[in-house]
Amino acid sequence: MRVFCASIATETNTFSPLRTDFSDFEQSFYAPPGQHPATPTLCSAVFPALRKRAAEGSIELIEGTATWAEPGGLVNAPTWLRLRNEVLDQLKAALPLDAAIFGLHGAMITDGCVDCEGDLLEAVRQIVGPDCRVGASFDPHSHLSEKRVRNADVITVFKEFPHTDFVEAGEACVDLTLKSARGEITPATSVFDVRMIDVLPTSIQPMRGFIDKLKQLEQSGTILSASVIHGFMAGDSPDLGARIIVVTNNEKAKGDRLARDLGMELFSFRGRAAPEFLTPNEALGRADASSRFPVVIADVWDNPGGGVAGDSTIMLQHVMEMGLQGVAVGTIWDPMAVRLCFAAGEGAEFDLRFGGKTSAHAGQPIDATVKVIRLVENAVQSFGTSVVPLGNSAAIRIGDLDIVLNTNRSQAFSPDLFTNLGVDISRKRILIVKSTNHFHGAFAPIAGEILYAAIDGPYPNDPRRTAYTRLKRALWPMVEDPHQEELA
């Protein structure tokens, strides 16, 4: 059995002041055919899953390009066309094929293409023909178009937020697609439009129980797969919003009924699934008064994983104004400040301006006398089995306040973003991280308490106030009962 795989992935915040081009893919992750590392990236877990089967001798694997750019603003058209055509040319050269499997994100938008993944899968189907099985794995913070459903035989989605199961989702995509190619199953995909956009972390109820229910349905053999598309509220897409995907073994009517039932159950969670969001002063005050350390505070909207810069200084300014002790902040994206720290050297004390460069809503730059406590070339942090590049990074100290500055934008995934830079978190009372919820899996075991601070900025966090131009369907919270009403 001949199988092709490739991965093109990023998440596009169409409201971000940033822009994305090929250099962003190169900086984050770019692996030509045959050069994918042993460990997967967030959206390329299909590669090691397929390599395992190739090593067993059950398939002949032809690898295409795998690439990922840290979430950012609109991708420019030449970059998308370059990557799209690169993979499609590789696909053509690999023919004939029994299966083609893709690790995608699902929220890429470019100048001139609002549904990149749908465009790619449509082109794939035209190349491979109707008899080749096509599988795709997606991030839940994506936009599910009809074009994607029509052209893919199998769709799997990470169930967890934080996405601790991206490897399992890749494995499931591979397993179902290969079974389909061997004629062991006939996947039938049912989709229900939940008509809402909300924050749906699976680390807490009610989403925790809902995801466990989906897993039980799969394990019981009732269905082949069940997934939730959360949607990505920072993407101006006509397909914005949550959806339920149910894949059955040739039982479409059954899948349609189950998808609707699950979708309406998910709809009932609207407005009560998100964690408690605090103001900066509330979060810092509660952390300072806590007796369980370290308290981890997420700066949820200055999250590079949502396509913004991650250079906001607002939380840091509050820490300094309140005179809090035993605090570490990670990370603040500032390549120029990092370069100055490297020029100064470890142990140097000098005046440094850092942060607050890319948005009028991200606070003012910090001017302070800092001490450089650690410099690391090509620093990394971990996300499960994946290695996330931070680029050249510096840890600086103001009094006993430690701050990690990085060159490659990245949200916080793991405590090793601090420890790899020489910050002793066992001596810290408060850790401030820039992430919405992906930090939770690795930080929860060491945290005395976890708090979420919400600060308005360049991330559009309230859909009722976001100027979507492509959305034509009624969604909650813009419409109270979208299953009854349509947008005017």
| φ, ψ (nearest 5 deg) of residue 154 | -135, 130
What is the strand order of the sheet 225-229 is part of? Answer: 187-193, 243-249, 225-229
CB 36 within 8 A of CB 133: no
Distance between CA atoms of 274 and 269, rounded to whole angstroms? 9
Residue with tokens 């947008």: 487
Sign of the C-alpha dihedral computed for residues 173, 179, 184 and 188 taken in this order: positive
Burial class of 484 by CB neighbour count within 10 A (0 to 12, 13 to 18, 19+) = exposed
Indicate the length of the chain as a whole number. 488
Q: Burial code of 125-139, b = ≥16 C-beta within 10 A, e = fewer?
A: bebbeeebbbbbbbb
3-state secondary structure of 324: coil
User: How many degrees, rounded to 5, is the angle at CA 390 between CA 281 and CA 84?
Assistant: 115
Question: Shortest CA distance to 321 belongs to which of 433, 405, 398?
Answer: 398
Distance between CA atoms of 190 and 250, rounded to whole angstroms? 11
Instruction: Give the confidence band of 485 by pLDDT, cuts at 50, 70, 90.
Output: low
Instruction: Provide the whole-model pTM.
Output: 0.95
Residue type, position 205, single letter:
Q
Q: What is the CA radius of gyration of the chain?
A: 22
Using one digit for the tens of pLDDT, what is the confidence trace for 92-139?
A: 999 999 999 999 999 999 999 999 999 999 999 999 999 999 999 999
Using one digit for the tens of pLDDT, what is the confidence trace for 311-343?
A: 999 999 999 999 999 999 999 999 999 999 999
Using one digit for the tens of pLDDT, what is the confidence trace for 403-441?
A: 999 999 999 999 999 999 999 999 999 999 999 999 999
Reply yes or no on whether the pLDDT at 487 is more than 80: no
Using one digit for the tens of pLDDT, what is the confidence trace for 454-481?
A: 998 889 999 999 999 999 999 999 999 9
Of all residues in the chain, what percent carry a pLDDT higher than 70?
Answer: 99
Q: Which pLDDT does position 359 carry in this prediction? A: 87
Residue with tokens 């900025």: 457
Question: Shortest CA distance to 58 belongs to which of 175, 229, 193?
Answer: 175
- Torsion on CA atoms 86, 237, 308, 29, rounded to nearest 10: -20
HSE-CB of 77 using CA atoms within 13 angstroms: 4
Name the DSSP class of 12: B
Q: Which pLDDT does position 457 carry in this prediction? A: 83
CB 45 within 8 A of CB 137: yes
Distance between CA atoms of 127 and 480, rounded to whole angstroms? 43
Q: Which pLDDT does position 341 carry in this prediction? A: 98
Mean pLDDT calculated for residue range 51-71: 98
Distance between CA atoms of 469 and 237, rounded to whole angstroms? 8
CB 75 within 8 A of CB 10: yes
CB 156 within 8 A of CB 179: no
Tell me what the pLDDT averaged over the chain comes to. 97
CB 352 within 8 A of CB 302: no
Residue with tokens 């996947």: 187
Instruction: Please list, in sequence order, all residues whose beta carbon lies within 8 angstroms of the beta carbon of residue 64, skipping any fewer than 6 positions away.
Output: 4, 5, 6, 33, 86, 87, 90, 91, 94
CB atoms within 10 A of CB 343: 10
Instruction: Please list, in sequence order, all residues whose beta carbon lies within 8 angstroms of the beta carbon of residue 329, skipping any fewer than 6 positions away.
Output: 315, 316, 319, 401, 402, 403, 404, 431, 432
Distance between CA atoms of 250 and 194, rounded to whole angstroms? 23
Q: Burial code of 440-465, b = ≥16 C-beta within 10 A, e = fewer?
A: bbbbeeebeebbbbbbebbbbbebee
Instruction: Give the confidence band of 361 by pLDDT, cuts at 50, 70, 90.
Output: confident
- The torsion region of residue 455 among left (phi > 0), alpha (psi -120 to 50) and beta comes to beta
Using one digit for the tens of pLDDT, what is the confidence trace for 21-35?
A: 999 999 999 999 999
Burial class of 271 by CB neighbour count within 10 A (0 to 12, 13 to 18, 19+) = exposed
Using one digit for the tens of pLDDT, what is the confidence trace for 265-288?
A: 999 999 999 999 999 999 999 999
